[in-house]
Amino acid sequence: MSGQLLLKITSDSGYIRIISKNQGDVSVQTILLKLLLGHCWWEGAPVVETIFNLIEESIKKTMMDVYKYNNLTINYDYRTNDLLEIASRVEMYINSINVDGMEVDVTGRYILLEGDDNRGFWQKTFGFRRKIQENVYKEL
């Protein structure tokens, strides 16, 4: 590989955009959050896990569009303010992405998903006991 692989993640209130670049080649994937939330509600799918999977697959696809690789690994941490099913705040931090053993330069490593906190008084009071902080390492 003669150039440097770059990955940029940007977000706004309605979307997450994943951009990969290798020399002059660029690939862009946009995740529309309202459409995704509607799909999860309709299918009864878990929202946070679906968003994580879609981010991973979008990274995989954009990287493949700009550089044909054999092995992609992603390492990220996530934290919630309660159980995944009722959390109103989910933070995702991408530690590293490697393609065929080479480190990808990542901009926008931190993704925050935040919504209305509909938990009751007791759930908010004791939510600190159910907080989740985990590391995910995957080969895609």
pLDDT at 3: 60
| pLDDT value, residue 2 | 45
pLDDT in tens, 59-92: 999 999 999 999 999 999 999 887 777 778 889 9
Mean pLDDT of 104-120: 83
Measure the CA–CA gap between 96 and 106, rounded to whole angstroms.
8
| pLDDT given for residue 130 in this prediction | 75
Segments making up each domain of the chain, as ranges: 5-139
**Which pTM does this prediction carry?**
0.86
* pLDDT at residue 129 greater than cutoff 80: no
User: Does 1 score more than 50 pLDDT?
Assistant: no
pLDDT band, very low/low/confident/very high, at 128 (cuts 50, 70, 90): low
Confidence (pLDDT) at 13 = 81
- Torsion (CA) 77, 79, 85, 87 in degrees, nearest 10: -150
Residues sharing a CB contact under 8 Å with residue 118, sequence separation 6 or more, in sequence order: 86, 88
- Indicate the average pLDDT of the chain: 88
pLDDT at 89: 83
